[in-house]
A and B are shown apart, each in its own frame.
Chain A
Amino acid sequence: MKNFTQTLIIFSAVYLFYSCNKTYDNPPVNEVPIGNVISIGDLKDEYPGNAITIDSNYTIFGNITSEETNGNFYKEVFIQDISGAIKLKLKASGGLYIGDSVRINVQGLTMSDYGELIQLDNVDVDQQVVKIATEKFITPYEATISQLSLSEDQSRLVKLNNVEFSELGMTYADAVNLSTGSRTLSDCNGNIMSVRTSGYANFADDTLPSGNGSITGIFTIYNSEKQFVIRDINEVTMDSSRCNAGGGGSGGGGDYLYKDFDDGSLTSGGWKTFWSGTNPNIGEWEMLFGTIAKASNYSNSTNYACESWLVSPNFDLSSATNPYLIFDNVTRYNGAQLELYISSNYDGVSNPDIQGTWFNLTSYVPNWDTDNFDWDLVSSGNTDLTGFISPSVAIAYKYIGSNSDGATWEVDNIIVTE
């Protein structure tokens, strides 16, 4: 029995030591002082034009209008109140989200500018910012490009209507090399600004929308240049007809690709040409009558060997169900058949000889013109593209000439639709 008592003792001792697990009190809250409240507009007015440290015990109140979640902003957010907006450069990434209603004690912070965009440097979200509420969303200021003031409206949340991108077929940024993209946004009156997108943004790889519509984001400046940063790709809705619909590079809204060359440009709308050959420029794609694309390797009674590409911008077929390609074509003289290719991994920039996996569609085209000694364009018939449905598709014509022969080829009214 004595031994059992001892056993009990030992087990109790074991339990006692084991149960003295460490516990900790919550540390006290670091209060952020309020001091004097100042509006963002008034604070910016105190900026002398070069970096200063704010000595006064100022507090600003405002709402956060951007966040870092999708990667387009890094270590920076924008804050706005009724008097204006300012950029906050953060000491550390994270912690502030769109709709946060906050107060910030700015004493001791440095106010500086980058290309005349005024900013507060090195804001410590954990130490200097107090969140009062969440999901207090600011309505964007609806304006036109020309209405935006470099000084008054900088850093403001803005919505632009009836605008479109110029570089069709390109992506927002270079997601492979993670470098920032700058794309031109224009309205129908020719006013432009650049949309800048980080290569780290999760939509960097998306193709620019080809239509016209609205875009919401932060209006920024670099000296006298107006710039714009998208905060959420869902705030870009450009699916209406472009400004000069039908007249320039684009057809009806339902077409995935439309190129009629009637604007006199081979390359408008993001089309590109590439050439390699023996005699400079002979065999390049060129404009004929200002309305048709043409290639021929015949010059001064001689044929020159060449390879010449006419490449479409990347277009999005992901929403299509039965897309097809149709175009007009005509050929004369002895020479190689014009070839047609399609790719779903073309980068939109490079020479198709060296980049992209290109599928040869030539034999799938129902009706190529044969040399019947006339110059009448014939319709190709519908070439089914159902097998190529993907978010980023490009087509390309490849003209081939040799030193001994070479046909002339003309194409026009290239349309992908369904």
Chain B
Amino acid sequence: MIVNYINSLIFCALILISATTSAQTDSIFVKDTLDNIIPVFTTTVDLLENEQQSQDISGLLQSSRDVYVNQAGFNFSAARYRLRGYSSENTRLFFNGIPVNDPENGWTIWSYWGGLNDVTRYPENSFGISNSAANFGSIGAYSYISALPSVKNTGTRVSYAATNRSYRNRAMYTYNSGLNNKGWGFLISGSSRWSDEGYVPGTYYSAGSYLLSIEKKINNKHTVNLMGFGAPTVQGRQGIAVQETYELTGENFYNPYWGYQTQNDGTQKKRNARSRNNHKPYITLGHYWNISEKLNIQSNFYAITGRTANTNLNWFNANDPRPDYYKYLPSYFINNQGTLDGSQIIENQQEYNKVLEGWQTNDPNTTQLNWDLLYNANYNNLYTQNNIGGEEGNSYTAKRSKYIVEEYRLDPRHYGFNSFGKLTVNENSDLNFGLSISNYKSKNFRLMNDLLGGDYWVDIDQFALRDFDDPNQAQNDLQNPNKIIKVGDIFGYNYDIHVNKNEIFSTYSFNKNRVESFFGINFSTTTFWREGKMQNGRFPDNSLGKSEKQTFLNYGAKFGFLYKITGRHLLSINGMYKTEAPYVRNAYVSPRTRDQLVPNLSSTEIISGDINYNVRLPFLKARLTGFFTQINNQTWARSFYHDEYRTFVNYMMTNVDQTFMGIEFGFESNITSTLQFTGAFTVGDYLYKSRPVATITRDNSQEVIALDKVIYLKNFKIGGMPQQASSLGLKYNSPKYWYAGINFNYFTDIYLSPNPDRRTAEALAGYGEEYPYVNEIIDQTKLKNGNAMNLFIGKSWKFYKNNSYLRLGLNVNNLLDNTKFKTGGFEQLRYDASNIQRFPNKYGYMYGRTYFLMLSYLY
């Protein structure tokens, strides 16, 4: 099979050679250049923790026709830019009619359909508050991707791309029959992306994707469509680290997640401890009904299933195996003296020198994981576990693993129905309407992935073992005490999260002469609850079974008004007010162990408005927008080790208010018929606007450590993205069917997200007012400005013989190989107020020069 596949690639190459002289114009290559770099698995996707992976919607942005948005999507994504500062729960994405925002946290995660670029290439997009067709929409982007054979371009497209980003190779095939004379249509797409090692050391990538969409037009009134897609992806991930490790190793892409493992033949193989293994198949059954010329309705049933899995190391009664653990860095030998500056004494000079040398020489035994040691620790740990299942005399003696690779699973079981339509009321006005019913469940559990040479693991909590003298409290599963865990067994926690959401909306639009306007409302109910499958020894009374259901009633209203001063000058204003149920991901204190709710949980409130001025002249297209948004009453929940309380805590912040305001400006100007000048600028001010209150509980017990702790976050900047970004570009379109362009991009005002606990009176309690180092604790970190230059170049050929096209495109991102640009990071939540450098910030850098070279053939 694979041989055939390679043959067809060679065949394409031969055609290329024989046909270079017969090049001809390609009317759509302009659009195609933008998509060549999709998917941009930039630093955004894997750099930060899981939560960050949703923020990359560049794939969606780049295909926009908006003069600002497509430049921003293309050029700003490497700097982790977010449209108007919004996180991705404020976008609404529909794939073939079904909503694909995650019901647990609202995110749209592009990688679930990664590699299906041929299908996702040209969605219907709108940005900001708009008259969206499939639902009420939100304040960010609204996007509708169709996978109907009758809508997509027909024909076959084969492409191969070589790159040096997350993956190195991509092969893609798409065939669309269009509708035949019997009303049948087939759309098929598939791809592979792979690399043994990506741009960052120790990362790897192996992904496939598939999509099959069958359409049958029954008559002029009825069309049905069955579609399924998925993108199985296995990926070795990149971690970010503290600045010290980058400086010592001289490598800004130092990745602490991998290490060598000796193989049977004596060779050393790189192994990554943090892999991602996702596969979420989507199936939709759609019905398109043209009831009359004035009324049409689309209805869909859908089901989403599959798994998301992330692995990590865990250990029991053993040393932290992570090479960048703070005690293994040279600074620990200085910092543990507890002084901020001045007379720092190195207590153990010999050990310090040894560690320093290991780091400076990039000795993998120091800077990376040492899998051989982990295995040997397990080989050697003969242990007798007694009282298995609580039965006296039930014992097992074998190698008990001290180190394991465990897998965190979140498996969705989601089905739903939605229906939306449009009624033409009269020649000037339309009514859009719809309803949506969604039943979502996720199965959350931990699975034994690899015992690393050991025979078993015992399902108890080692911290509880030390903290409580009642041995039952250490049990993760009270009904199976001292459970022996083998590969493939569930342990630690096991619970389901249910989210049921029902929504109706309607939008009335009125267009006449120089006016276009709309007014929309929606109502929704959201109910969620937790269903525990394990009785936890620390929380025997609130870990097992269904929790109380939480229900929220929400509503929203929006309007838009556009006035055409002339056909070339347009002025518009939009506004929205809505409430949204809190996302279940933030609703429970520690869902892994219990169903305790975050106190004062309530709906989020969103108020947003924008004013836009559009120019559409033959030589200039431009848009200028001012926007202002307030998102109030948000909840923030995290768990981490708190040094002051000396325990693992659950940290919940409520009443988090944020404002987003700024200006966007984009233009495209045709200087000559072949030379185009483009620019995109955004100046934003994204701030925390309230003093949230925090509740802190011990993860291990019901104990509330702090209640209503005031967080002094007001006027801190929202971190993790540039608040100002600029792009200027030149593009040359040759009449000889080639093009070339260059962009210069500049990013400023990038902040790290503030660790809330460092902005409390308690954190400063040990210091007097005059203490000079208070600012070290409370000041927000601002990153240096950065820049990146991108180059793109391409050519296309048309073969008249069979009416086919061949295209070659090259994108070079970060042409000048700027590897010094920190695009983000985070303040560690663990901190020591008396020595803030003990747990310093972690940073991630923009990739250096990368390329994406693609050859595609369309017939």
Residues of A within 8 A of B (CB): 3, 6-18, 20-22, 24-30, 68-71, 92-95, 97, 99-100, 125-127, 129-135, 200, 202-203, 233
Q: Is A24's CB under 8 angstroms from B263's CB?
A: yes
Q: Is B2's CB under 8 angstroms from A13's CB?
A: yes
Shortest CB distance B348–A (Å):
12
Apart from A94-B402, A95-B377, 11 more pairs, CB < 8 Å: A13-B1, A17-B207, A18-B192, A18-B206, A20-B194, A21-B234, A30-B372, A70-B469, A94-B317, A125-B377, A233-B469
Contacts of B453 in A (CB 8 A): 26-27
- 23 residue pairs A–B, Cβ–Cβ below 8 Å: A3-B156, A14-B190, A14-B192, A14-B210, A15-B208, A16-B192, A17-B194, A20-B194, A21-B234, A22-B271, A25-B261, A25-B264, A28-B372, A29-B379, A30-B376, A69-B466, A71-B466, A93-B317, A94-B402, A97-B383, A126-B318, A135-B384, A200-B466
Taken together as a complex, chains A and B put the C-alpha atoms of A41 and B373 apart, in Å, by: 31
Taken together as a complex, chains A and B put the C-alpha atoms of A97 and B271 apart, in Å, by: 31
Q: List the A residue with the shortest CB-CB distance to B474.
A: A69
Q: List the B residue with the shortest CB-CB distance to A97.
A: B383
Contacts of B193 in A (CB 8 A): 17
Q: Is B171's CB under 8 angstroms from A13's CB?
A: yes
Q: Is B210's CB under 8 angstroms from A11's CB?
A: yes
Interface residues in B196-240 by Cβ distance below 8 A to A read: 204, 206-210, 232, 234, 236
Q: Does B751 contact A (CB under 8 A)?
A: no
Cβ-neighbour of B466 out of A24, A92, A130, A202 (below 8 A): A202
Taken together as a complex, chains A and B put the C-alpha atoms of A7 and B189 apart, in Å, by: 8
Contacts of B767 in A (CB 8 A): none
Q: Is B4's CB under 8 angstroms from A9's CB?
A: yes
Taken together as a complex, chains A and B put the C-alpha atoms of A135 and B192 apart, in Å, by: 53
Q: Is B188's CB under 8 angstroms from A134's CB?
A: no
Interface residues in B374-396 by Cβ distance below 8 A to A read: 375-377, 379-384
Interface string of B462-498 (1 = CB under 8 A from A): 0001111100000000000000000000000000000
Contacts of A29 in B (CB 8 A): 376, 379
Q: List the B residue with the shortest CB-CB distance to A93.
A: B317
Taken together as a complex, chains A and B put the C-alpha atoms of A374 and B375 apart, in Å, by: 83
**Given contacts A10-B190, A13-B2, A25-B264, A126 and B466 within 8 Å (CB-CB):** no
Taken together as a complex, chains A and B put the C-alpha atoms of A17 and B208 apart, in Å, by: 7
Q: Is B376's CB under 8 angstroms from A27's CB?
A: yes
**Given contacts A13-B171, A26-B375, A20 and B206 within 8 Å (CB-CB):** yes
Q: Does B645 contact A (CB under 8 A)?
A: no
Q: Is A18's CB under 8 angstroms from B175's CB?
A: no
Contacts of A134 in B (CB 8 A): 382-384, 397
Contacts of B319 in A (CB 8 A): 92-93
Contacts of A27 in B (CB 8 A): 261-263, 371-372, 375-376, 453
Cβ-neighbour of B175 out of A7, A13, A95, A129 (below 8 A): A7
Q: Is B5's CB under 8 angstroms from A9's CB?
A: yes
Interface residues in B727-762 by Cβ distance below 8 A to A read: none
Q: List the B residue with the shortest CB-CB distance to A129.
A: B380
Q: Is B380's CB under 8 angstroms from A94's CB?
A: no
Q: Is B380's CB under 8 angstroms from A131's CB?
A: yes
**Given contacts A3-B156, A134-B382, A95 and B317 within 8 Å (CB-CB):** yes
Taken together as a complex, chains A and B put the C-alpha atoms of A200 and B263 apart, in Å, by: 42
Cβ-neighbour of A22 out of B171, B204, B468 (below 8 A): B204
Cβ-neighbour of B1 out of A9, A21, A95, A233 (below 8 A): A9
Q: Is B375's CB under 8 angstroms from A17's CB?
A: no
Contacts of B206 in A (CB 8 A): 17-18, 20-21
Taken together as a complex, chains A and B put the C-alpha atoms of A28 and B375 apart, in Å, by: 9
Taken together as a complex, chains A and B put the C-alpha atoms of A70 and B473 apart, in Å, by: 13
Q: Is A24's CB under 8 angstroms from B192's CB?
A: no
Contacts of B5 in A (CB 8 A): 9-10, 12-13
Contacts of B263 in A (CB 8 A): 24-25, 27
Q: List the B residue with the shortest CB-CB distance to A17.
A: B192
Q: Is B466's CB under 8 angstroms from A14's CB?
A: no
Q: Is B192's CB under 8 angstroms from A13's CB?
A: yes
Q: Is B190's CB under 8 angstroms from A13's CB?
A: yes
Q: Is B382's CB under 8 angstroms from A131's CB?
A: yes
Interface pairs A-B: 8 shortest CB-CB: A94-B317, A14-B208, A126-B377, A131-B382, A12-B1, A10-B190, A134-B384, A92-B319
Contacts of A15 in B (CB 8 A): 208
Q: Does B316 contact A (CB under 8 A)?
A: yes
Q: Does B177 contact A (CB under 8 A)?
A: yes
Contacts of B262 in A (CB 8 A): 25, 27-28
Contacts of B175 in A (CB 8 A): 3, 6-7
Cβ-neighbour of B381 out of A12, A13, A17, A95 (below 8 A): A95
Residues of B within 8 A of A (CB): 1-2, 4-5, 8, 156, 171, 173, 175, 177, 188, 190-194, 204, 206-210, 232, 234, 236, 261-264, 269, 271, 316-319, 371-373, 375-377, 379-384, 397, 402, 453, 465-469
Q: Is B210's CB under 8 angstroms from A100's CB?
A: no
Q: List the B residue with the shortest CB-CB distance to A69.
A: B465
Q: List the A residue with the shortest CB-CB distance to B265.
A: A25
Contacts of A28 in B (CB 8 A): 262, 372
Q: Which residue, of A6, A68, A100, has the highest number of chain B Cβ atoms within 10 A?
A: A6
Taken together as a complex, chains A and B put the C-alpha atoms of A232 and B453 apart, in Å, by: 31
Q: Is B469's CB under 8 angstroms from A202's CB?
A: yes
Q: List the B residue with the shortest CB-CB distance to A28.
A: B262
Contacts of B232 in A (CB 8 A): 14, 18
Contacts of A24 in B (CB 8 A): 261, 263, 269, 271, 371
Taken together as a complex, chains A and B put the C-alpha atoms of A200 and B382 apart, in Å, by: 26
Taken together as a complex, chains A and B put the C-alpha atoms of A92 and B469 apart, in Å, by: 23
Contacts of B375 in A (CB 8 A): 26-27
Shortest CB distance A394–B (Å):
22
Q: Is A94's CB under 8 angstroms from B1's CB?
A: no
Taken together as a complex, chains A and B put the C-alpha atoms of A132 and B382 apart, in Å, by: 8
Q: Is A18's CB under 8 angstroms from B234's CB?
A: yes
Contacts of B316 in A (CB 8 A): 94
Shortest CB distance A82–B (Å):
22
**Given contacts A130-B380, A131-B382, A202-B469, A68 and B317 within 8 Å (CB-CB):** yes
Taken together as a complex, chains A and B put the C-alpha atoms of A235 and B835 apart, in Å, by: 42
Q: Which residue, of B193, B232, B316, has the highest number of chain A Cβ atoms within 10 A?
A: B232
Contacts of B468 in A (CB 8 A): 202
Cβ-neighbour of A18 out of B208, B261, B466 (below 8 A): B208
Taken together as a complex, chains A and B put the C-alpha atoms of A26 and B1 apart, in Å, by: 33
Taken together as a complex, chains A and B put the C-alpha atoms of A14 and B189 apart, in Å, by: 11
Taken together as a complex, chains A and B put the C-alpha atoms of A18 and B2 apart, in Å, by: 13
Q: Is A7's CB under 8 angstroms from B188's CB?
A: yes
Taken together as a complex, chains A and B put the C-alpha atoms of A8 and B212 apart, in Å, by: 12
**Given contacts A25-B263, A26-B453, A70-B469, A8 and B317 within 8 Å (CB-CB):** no
Shortest CB distance A60–B (Å):
16
Contacts of B380 in A (CB 8 A): 125-126, 129-131
Q: Is B190's CB under 8 angstroms from A7's CB?
A: yes
Q: List the B residue with the shortest CB-CB distance to A234.
A: B469
Contacts of B379 in A (CB 8 A): 29
Q: List the A residue with the shortest CB-CB distance to B379.
A: A29
Q: Is B376's CB under 8 angstroms from A95's CB?
A: no
Taken together as a complex, chains A and B put the C-alpha atoms of A361 and B1 apart, in Å, by: 90
Shortest CB distance B365–A (Å):
13
Q: List the B residue with the shortest CB-CB distance to A92.
A: B319
Taken together as a complex, chains A and B put the C-alpha atoms of A8 and B531 apart, in Å, by: 42
Taken together as a complex, chains A and B put the C-alpha atoms of A69 and B377 apart, in Å, by: 18
Contacts of A14 in B (CB 8 A): 190-192, 208-210, 232
Shortest CB distance B97–A (Å):
24
Shortest CB distance A66–B (Å):
14
Shortest CB distance B303–A (Å):
21
Shortest CB distance A131–B (Å):
4
Contacts of B376 in A (CB 8 A): 27, 29-30, 126-127
Q: Is B382's CB under 8 angstroms from A133's CB?
A: yes
Contacts of B377 in A (CB 8 A): 95, 125-126
Taken together as a complex, chains A and B put the C-alpha atoms of A131 and B454 apart, in Å, by: 14
Q: List the A residue with the shortest CB-CB distance to B189.
A: A10
Taken together as a complex, chains A and B put the C-alpha atoms of A92 and B4 apart, in Å, by: 56
